[in-house]
């Protein structure tokens, strides 16, 4: 009995620290805890410490880091795996755990949803294979329908949301055009209004795969199956020799609307196959991924690619973010999500490879503010949230029926 | 001449004289005298070295004066002494000369005459001042002396002269070139004029002495001719003056032999005396003539149990013996240990006769051939194939499925960009899918089961050719830009179909397609396969039961049909256009024929497949390599530059191969079969004509349900991906 008891209660001296604000803070004292606790145990310990000081404390899940690495096993195993001495007092940092979100009421579409954009806090923008873009002010209630495309919408982007009154969005479609829409998200929350594009961007010779807007909202870029990336102006003015065409809506008695047509400002040529995805994270830098197995960084001023990462697989999606918005995450025709660090000299090998998916990766997105969180969606019906601080396990997965 | 040189002359003279002496019996005395004289001179020379310089004497000595000079040698000392005022010298002279003086004089007198006569003998025997003998001078390097004189006194070394001084001295001295340093006696020797002359003569290659006449007249001491008395008085034998009869006979014999060719003058070539050093003796003919010795099998060494008196534990019990009896004869132990008290009591070996008989029988009946066992590692017989890892990328895992058909998918085709894929099914529907997502974009529904779909290879003409039953449809996929659409619509406009030629009127009719607004071509037999020309204008259709009229070419732009300008032998199965040239491949059931469409008269090439029934055919984009799949599961790779026989025949599938495909840019090819698998191969074709194509099997792609198998496979035009169409109504995309 004695021996067993001793074995179980091997104790570690730990100190809990955090960067969180006051209600989450615990006194910086060394605490002795059993070595076989896991994240759950640590979380309950921290909760009980906080509760002892603050009686109105509501239990909250925490995540724990040792030397910047998330604990994903028992403390003992973690120390053993990392070769950290258990003799000295351990400093364990805790952060608020990312809890699985509750699924809200689904926003039902008539056809496959091909694109979604939730970067605005006020609404969700979706694109659908029926050629309509939809704006959902809240879960399940569609406020606007963006119509005009004759082919399936492949990508949507928020162009300008700073303006409180009207919001500009861009949609890319398989009918080889992009359309720009303006609407006021505040109006007509109850009923659905139909919106027509104020500008049609023609110039691609094949299906447009992806669209992304500059931060300022003055320009959008789009990538297409014709291997090019086109840059477009978004302003409504037609003074720059842009052809104006006033179209009548066929079979509809609504008032005529003026639609200007825009031509591409410039074209970035270099990819040899379908450019599947573009992002425009900085003023004059565009990242693109392509089926020719490469990720490229384009300098908008010169129109040249300044970086060319070769991957070996056809890529479907790219996003830039992470630590100082410099990491490139891309996924494609295999179940591996790769993250590159272009600042790393001398190598073009990915710094991270996440391979828990079981099919093609269709989309990936960095967390807006967190450096460590990365979201990926795959054809296996799962969305996975990755934390760069641990390479052991994914955090949460949501499964959807296919 | 200086005094010094005179001294040297004297020395020389003594030497020459001593040689004369050597011939006589006065060897003993000569060295002493010579030594003494020499010493005098040397001392003189050494002591007065500096004084002599520039000091000239009236008159000169030449070689002729030697004798007179020599004769004065005794008073030389005094003479010189008076000249130089050197006291030391005279002392020395006294000491040395005191013993020898008397003999000296007398000897010299007697020797003098001869010395003049023969002055050219060698100088070797003159004993030097130093008596150490012929020893390395190194031994005296560190000593103060260089040796010992006759009396046993040490001869001290001369003071080493400063290099600079000696050099300066040599500059002033015009005789330097004649001086030689005698290391052995530690003195400078000056060559006399005579000596230098001798040296010159030797250098010229003449006799050293001027007196010697090499061309002296020959003196005949003996005269043979006029000898009155011969040595023998025997009469001259007869044989000396009569020609030999026997010799003549011998000559005749040789002549005859030469004429008849018995004697050959040129030597016969020597056969190289080599033999098989490492060869197997058993293979050589000599050995195989004889019976080889076959040793009897080796017997096992006897153990303890075979002893006549083994330990008790070896002896089987009665029960064991009884159990042996129950065993089969083969299993029964051959020897049962038994105990005997002494060697005497051991009975005779009961089987001796039997065994020797059997051995004889063995030898008699056993085949007199030794079995050759070849020890070859079976692994080494395998061709060395590169690792699959190095041949990446190739399709290996299925991530996407295209579901929607309700019947077996019979045919698939990708568009030139790789964005779309079309499929035809037995349910009568033609579907167009988005490759990236697996979304079905369009469906055309027909009444009949679709046999074939083929996308136009031109990207600007997005037309889909669909064959079902007897009809061939051209469908507008409505892709491409607006201008491209207009061209497409114009092509597929069915308003002005021209009158068909009489030759093809019975075979095909062009009709407008009411259903989807395209063109329909009705054939007289059901279509089995179609193939677009690379320029997207011509399309060939094959009617398997059409026999000689089984293959026709349609031209889309002119909406015309023509028959092949040549006759096809056998039932056509499928056809192919060459990817770059005007060749046309027609596969019949057993072989493939290559025709030139531009020159119909040109001789056709026949590729003999050796297959029982060809099912499909695909050509490498280079145009020199053809892959043929057959219904017995074999696939042939033809290298048409190499031969008309298959370069490789691959037998992989247990069931019929339904289709084969070659990738446009990657070195990949694939076959799909009714066993519901698809095989992917690496097929590298090299530009170097000397290098044969490299074929490596890479992957077996499974996944389709076993019913009906895989009916079609196509590569993605740009990615190393393979589409397979299964009878289970699913299209699968295998990615790398």
Neighbours of A217 (CB within 10 A): 18
Which pLDDT value is given to residue A247? 41
Contact A291 B400 (CB under 8 A): no
Distance of CA B333 to the CA centre of its chain: 60
Q: Span B278-296, mean pLDDT? A: 61
Give the DSSP letter string of B209-244. Answer: STT--TTPPPP----STT-SS-S--PPPPGGGTS--
Chain B residues with CB-CB distance to A274 below 8 A: 417-419
Which residue, among B726, B728, B723, has the nearest Cα to B435 in the 3D structure?
Answer: B723
Give residue ranges of A with CB < 8 Å to any B CB. 112, 114, 129, 152, 176, 205-207, 225, 273-274, 276, 291-292, 312-314, 316, 333-335, 359-360, 362, 379
Does the pLDDT at position B608 exceed 90? no
Does the pLDDT at position B520 exceed 50? yes
Give CA torsion, residues A63, A67, A72, A76, to 10 deg.
-120
Give residue ranges of B with CB < 8 Å to any A CB. 392-393, 399-400, 417-419, 436-439, 441, 481, 718-719, 721, 735-736
When mean pLDDT is compared across A83-87, A270-274, B39-43, B300-304, the lowest value belongs to: B39-43
Domains along the sequence of chain A with CATH:
11-96 (3.10.20.90), 113-233+258-390 (2.130.10.10)
Contact A176 B439 (CB under 8 A): no
Please tell me the distance in Å from B371's CA to the nearest CA on chain A: 56
Asked if B437 contacts B424 with a C-beta cutoff of 8 angstroms, the reply is no
Which residue in chain B is spatially nearest to A130 when comparing CA positions? B441
- pLDDT bin (cut points 50, 70, 90) of residue A37 is confident
Choosing among A110, A128, A261, A291, which should be mutated to test the B contact, i.e. which has the most B CBs within 10 A?
Answer: A291
Of B400, B441, B481, the CB nearest to A360: B400
Q: Span B206-213, mean pLDDT? A: 84
Does the pLDDT at position B17 exceed 60? no
When mean pLDDT is compared across A164-168, A208-212, B426-430, B597-601, the lowest value belongs to: A164-168
Which pLDDT value is given to residue A164? 62
Q: Span B315-338, mean pLDDT? A: 86
Which pLDDT value is given to residue B26? 42
Chain A residues with CB-CB distance to B718 below 8 A: 273, 291-292
- pLDDT bin (cut points 50, 70, 90) of residue B252 is very high
- pLDDT bin (cut points 50, 70, 90) of residue A249 is very low
Neighbours of B346 (CB within 10 A): 12
- pLDDT bin (cut points 50, 70, 90) of residue A241 is very low
The more confident residue out of B355 and B91 is: B355
Chain A residues with CB-CB distance to B395 below 8 A: none
Q: Span B61-85, mean pLDDT? A: 41
Does the pLDDT at position B91 exceed 50? no
Which pLDDT value is given to residue B662? 92
- pLDDT bin (cut points 50, 70, 90) of residue B280 is low
Q: Span B102-112, mean pLDDT? A: 42
Size of interface A-B (CB pairs under 8 A): 48
Does the pLDDT at position B681 exceed 70? yes
Strand order in the sheet with B572-577: B572-577, B583-588, B591-596, B605-608
**Which of A183-197, A314-328, B2-16: highest mean pLDDT?**
A314-328
- pLDDT bin (cut points 50, 70, 90) of residue B661 is very high
Distance CA B637, CA B679 (A): 14
Which residue, among A37, A17, A35, has the nearest Cα to A84 in the 3D structure?
Answer: A35
Which pLDDT value is given to residue B255? 95
Which residue in chain A is spatially nearest to B419 when comparing CA positions? A225
Does the pLDDT at position B12 exceed 70? no
Chain A residues with CB-CB distance to B719 below 8 A: 291, 314, 333
Contact B399 A334 (CB under 8 A): yes
Can you tell me whether residue B565 is helix, strand or coil? coil
Contact B419 A335 (CB under 8 A): no
Average of per-residue pLDDT values in chain A? 78
Which pLDDT value is given to residue B53? 41
Chain A residues with CB-CB distance to B481 below 8 A: 176, 205
Does the pLDDT at position A6 exceed 60? no
Which pLDDT value is given to residue B283? 53
Please tell me the distance in Å from B481's CA to the nearest CA on chain A: 6
Chain A residues with CB-CB distance to B418 below 8 A: 273-274, 291
The more confident residue out of B282 and B551 is: B551
Distance CA A395, CA A376 (A): 12
Distance CA B178, CA B186 (A): 17
Chain A residues with CB-CB distance to B441 below 8 A: 152
- pLDDT tens-place string over residues B463-496: 889 998 888 888 888 887 778 888 888 877 766 6
CA angle in degrees (0–180, nearest 5) for A54-A60-A61: 140
Asked if A127 contacts A116 with a C-beta cutoff of 8 angstroms, the reply is yes
| CATH architecture, domain defined by B388-735 | 7 Propeller (2.130)
Of B419, B437, B736, the CB nearest to A225: B419
Does the pLDDT at position B102 exceed 80? no
**Which of A247-261, B52-66, B552-566: highest mean pLDDT?**
B552-566
Token digits for B543? 């009617």
Choosing among A113, A127, A128, A205, which should be mutated to test the B contact, i.e. which has the most B CBs within 10 A?
Answer: A205
Choosing among B395, B401, B436, which should be mutated to test the A contact, i.e. which has the most A CBs within 10 A?
Answer: B436
Choosing among A111, A200, A271, A314, which should be mutated to test the B contact, i.e. which has the most B CBs within 10 A?
Answer: A314
Q: Span B137-147, mean pLDDT? A: 83
**Which of B119-128, B250-259, B573-582, B633-642: highest mean pLDDT?**
B250-259
Which residue in chain B is spatially nearest to A360 when comparing CA positions? B399
Token digits for B701? 């792609």
Token digits for B213? 């006449």
- Phi, psi dihedral angles at B573 (to 5 degrees): -110, -50
Q: Span A38-62, mean pLDDT? A: 82
Which residue in chain B is spatially nearest to A290 when comparing CA positions? B719
Asked if B488 contacts B476 with a C-beta cutoff of 8 angstroms, the reply is yes
Chain B residues with CB-CB distance to A207 below 8 A: 419
Which pLDDT value is given to residue A274? 87
The more confident residue out of B84 and A330 is: A330
- pLDDT tens-place string over residues A177-219: 888 888 877 765 567 778 888 888 888 888 888 988 888 878 8
Does the pLDDT at position B652 exceed 60? yes
Asked if A352 contacts A339 with a C-beta cutoff of 8 angstroms, the reply is yes
Of A291, A292, A359, the CB nearest to B399: A359
Whether cis (ω within 30° of 0) applies to the bond prior to B393 is yes
When mean pLDDT is compared across A137-151, B19-33, B535-549, B666-680, the lowest value belongs to: B19-33
| Contact residues for B271 (Cβ-Cβ < 8 A; gap 6+) | none
Can you tell me whether residue A235 is helix, strand or coil? coil
Tell me which residue has tokens 């003449």.
B206
Compute CA distances B132 → A67, B140, B151, B658, whole Å.
94, 10, 12, 112
Written in H, E and C, the secondary structure of B159-201 is CCCCHHHHHHHHHHCCCHHHEEEECCCCEEEECCHHHHHHHHH
Chain A residues with CB-CB distance to B399 below 8 A: 333-335, 359-360, 379
Tell me which residue has tokens 């089926």.
A291
Does the pLDDT at position B50 exceed 60? no
Contact A312 B393 (CB under 8 A): yes
Average of per-residue pLDDT values in chain B? 77
DSSP E strand boundaries for B503-624? 508-512, 519-523, 529-532, 538-542, 551-555, 560-563, 572-577, 583-588, 591-596, 605-608, 614-619
Asked if B593 contacts B568 with a C-beta cutoff of 8 angstroms, the reply is yes
Of A205, A313, A360, the CB nearest to B481: A205
Please tell me the distance in Å from B719's CA to the nearest CA on chain A: 8
Chain A residues with CB-CB distance to B735 below 8 A: 313-314, 333-334, 360
Please tell me the distance in Å from A389's CA to the nearest CA on chain B: 29
Does the pLDDT at position B259 exceed 90? yes
- pLDDT bin (cut points 50, 70, 90) of residue A352 is confident
Give CA torsion, residues A297, A300, A304, A310, to 10 deg.
10
Q: H or E element: which one contains B67?
A: helix B66-71
Give CA torsion, residues B404, B410, B415, B420, to 10 deg.
10
Task: For residue A66, count CB atoms less than 10 angstroms from its CB and return exposed for 0-12, middle for 13-18, buried for 19 or more.
Answer: middle
Please give the share of chain B, as a percent, with pLDDT higher than 90.
9
Distance CA A279, CA A297 (A): 10
| Contact residues for A183 (Cβ-Cβ < 8 A; gap 6+) | A135, A144, A146, A166, A167, A169, A193, A195
Contact A333 B735 (CB under 8 A): yes
Which pLDDT value is given to residue B247? 93
Which residue in chain A is spatially nearest to B733 when comparing CA positions? A333
Does the pLDDT at position A82 exceed 90? no
Q: Span A104-119, mean pLDDT? A: 79
Neighbours of B406 (CB within 10 A): 10
Which pLDDT value is given to residue A25? 77
Distance CA B664, CA B641 (A): 20
Choosing among B389, B482, B735, which should be mutated to test the A contact, i.e. which has the most A CBs within 10 A?
Answer: B735
Which pLDDT value is given to residue B258? 92
């Amino acid at each position: 009995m004695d021996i067993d008891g001793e074995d179980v209660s091997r104790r570690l001296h730990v100190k809990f620290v955090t960067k969180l604000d006051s209600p989450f803070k615990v006194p910086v004292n060394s605490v002795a805890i059993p070595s076989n606790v896991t994240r759950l145990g640590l979380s309950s310990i921290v909760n009980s410490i906080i509760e002892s000081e603050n009686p109105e404390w509501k239990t909250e899940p925490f995540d724990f880091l040792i030397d910047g690495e998330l604990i994903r096993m028992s403390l003992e195993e973690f120390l053993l795996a990392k070769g950290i001495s258990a003799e000295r007092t351990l400093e364990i940092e805790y952060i608020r755990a990312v809890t699985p979100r509750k699924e809200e009421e689904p926003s039902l579409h008539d056809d496959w949803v091909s694109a979604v954009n939730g970067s605005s806090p006020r609404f969700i923008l979706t694109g659908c294979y029926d050629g309509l873009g939809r704006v959902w002010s809240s879960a399940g209630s569609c406020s606007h329908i963006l119509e005009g495309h004759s082919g399936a919408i492949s990508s949507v982007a928020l162009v300008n949301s700073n303006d409180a009154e009207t919001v500009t969005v861009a949609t890319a479609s398989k009918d080889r055009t992009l359309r720009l829409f303006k609407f006021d998200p505040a109006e007509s929350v109850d009923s659905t209004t139909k919106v027509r594009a104020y500008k049609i961007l023609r110039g691609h010779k094949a299906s447009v795969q992806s669209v992304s807007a500059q931060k300022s909202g003055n320009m959008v870029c789009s990538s297409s199956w014709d291997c090019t990336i086109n840059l477009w102006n978004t302003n409504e003015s037609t003074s720059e020799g842009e052809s104006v065409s006033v179209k009548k809506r066929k079979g509809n008695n609504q008032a005529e609307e003026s639609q200007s047509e825009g031509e591409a400002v410039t074209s970035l040529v270099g990819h040899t196959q379908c450019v599947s995805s573009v992002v425009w994270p900085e003023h004059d830098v565009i990242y693109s991924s392509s089926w020719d197995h490469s990720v490229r960084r384009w300098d908008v001023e010169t129109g040249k690619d300044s970086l060319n990462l070769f991957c070996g697989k056809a890529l479907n999606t790219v996003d830039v973010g992470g630590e100082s918005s410099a990491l490139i995450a891309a996924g494609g025709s295999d179940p591996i999500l790769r993250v590159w660090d272009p600042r790393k000299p001398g190598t073009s090998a990915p710094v991270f490879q996440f391979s828990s998916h079981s099919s093609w990766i269709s989309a990936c997105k960095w967390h807006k503010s967190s450096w460590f969180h990365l979201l990926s969606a795959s054809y296996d019906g799962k969305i996975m949230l990755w934390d760069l601080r641990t390479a052991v396990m994914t955090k949460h997965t949501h499964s959807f029926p296919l | 001449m200086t005094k010094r040189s005179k001294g040297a002359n004297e020395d020389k003279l003594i030497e020459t004289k001593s040689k004369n002496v050597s011939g006589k019996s006065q060897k003993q005395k000569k060295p002493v005298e010579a030594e003494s004289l020499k010493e005098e001179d040397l001392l003189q020379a050494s002591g007065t070295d500096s004084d002599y310089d520039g000091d000239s004497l009236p008159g000169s000595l030449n070689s002729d004066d030697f004798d007179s000079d020599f004769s004065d040698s005794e008073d030389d000392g005094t003479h010189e002494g008076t000249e130089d005022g050197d006291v030391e010298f005279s002392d020395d002279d006294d000491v040395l000369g005191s013993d020898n003086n008397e003999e000296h004089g007398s000897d010299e007198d007697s020797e003098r005459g001869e010395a003049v006569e023969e002055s050219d003998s060698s100088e070797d025997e003159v004993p030097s001042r130093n008596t150490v003998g012929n020893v390395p001078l190194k031994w005296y390097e560190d000593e103060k002396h260089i040796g010992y004189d006759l009396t046993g006194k040490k001869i001290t070394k001369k003071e080493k002269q400063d290099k600079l001084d000696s050099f300066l001295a040599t500059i002033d001295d015009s005789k330097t070139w004649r001086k030689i340093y005698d290391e052995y006696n530690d003195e400078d020797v000056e060559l006399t004029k005579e000596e230098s002359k001798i040296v010159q003569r030797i250098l010229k290659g003449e006799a050293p002495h001027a007196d010697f006449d090499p061309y002296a007249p020959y003196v005949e001491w003996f005269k043979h001719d006029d000898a009155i008395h011969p040595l023998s008085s025997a009469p001259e034998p007869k044989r000396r003056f009569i020609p030999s009869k026997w010799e003549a006979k011998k000559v005749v014999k040789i002549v005859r032999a030469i004429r008849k060719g018995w004697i050959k003058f040129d030597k016969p070539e020597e056969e190289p005396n080599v033999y098989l050093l490492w060869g197997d003796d058993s293979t050589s003919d000599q050995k195989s003539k004889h019976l080889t010795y076959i040793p009897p099998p080796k017997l096992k060494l006897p153990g303890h149990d075979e002893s006549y008196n083994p330990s008790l534990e070896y002896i089987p019990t009665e029960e064991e013996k009884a159990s042996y009896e129950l065993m089969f004869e083969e299993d029964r132990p051959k020897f049962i240990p038994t105990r005997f008290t002494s060697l005497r009591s051991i009975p005779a070996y009961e089987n001796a006769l039997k065994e020797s008989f059997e051995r004889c029988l063995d030898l008699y009946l056993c085949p007199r051939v030794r079995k050759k066992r070849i020890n070859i590692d079976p692994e080494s017989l395998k061709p060395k194939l590169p690792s699959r890892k190095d041949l990446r990328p190739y399709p290996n895992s299925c991530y996407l499925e295209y579901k929607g058909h309700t019947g077996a998918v019979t045919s698939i085709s990708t568009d030139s960009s790789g964005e779309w894929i079309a499929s035809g099914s037995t349910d009568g529907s033609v579907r167009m899918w988005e490759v990236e997502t697996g979304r079905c974009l369009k469906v055309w529904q027909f009444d009949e089961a679709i046999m074939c779909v083929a996308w136009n290879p031109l990207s600007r003409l997005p037309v889909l050719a669909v064959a079902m039953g007897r009809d061939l449809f051209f469908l507008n996929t409505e892709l491409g830009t607006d201008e491209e659409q207009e061209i497409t619509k114009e092509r597929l406009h069915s308003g002005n179909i021209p009158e068909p030629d009489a030759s093809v009127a019975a075979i095909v009719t062009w009709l407008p397609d009411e259903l989807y607004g395209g063109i329909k071509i009705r054939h007289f037999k059901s279509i089995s396969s179609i193939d677009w020309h690379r320029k997207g204008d011509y399309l060939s259709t094959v009617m398997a039961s059409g026999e000689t009229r089984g293959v026709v070419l349609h031209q889309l732009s002119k909406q015309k049909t023509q028959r092949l300008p040549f006759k096809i032998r056998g039932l056509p199965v499928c056809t192919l256009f060459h990817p770059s040239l005007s060749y046309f491949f027609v596969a019949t059931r057993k072989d493939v024929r290559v025709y030139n469409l531009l020159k119909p008269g040109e001789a056709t090439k026949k590729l003999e497949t050796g297959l029982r029934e060809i099912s499909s055919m695909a050509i490498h984009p280079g145009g020199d390599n053809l892959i043929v799949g057959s219904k017995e599961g074999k696939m042939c790779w033809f290298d048409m530059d190499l031969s008309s026989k298959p370069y490789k025949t691959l037998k992989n599938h247990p069931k019929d191969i339904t289709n084969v495909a070659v990738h446009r840019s990657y070195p990949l090819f694939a076959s799909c079969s009714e066993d519901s698998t698809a095989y992917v191969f690496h097929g590298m074709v090299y530009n170097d004509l000397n290098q044969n194509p490299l074929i490596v099997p890479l992957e077996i792609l499974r996944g389709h349900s076993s019913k009906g198998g895989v009916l079609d496979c196509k590569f993605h035009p740009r990615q190393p991906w393979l589409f397979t169409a299964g009878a289970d109504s699913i299209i699968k995309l295998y990615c790398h």
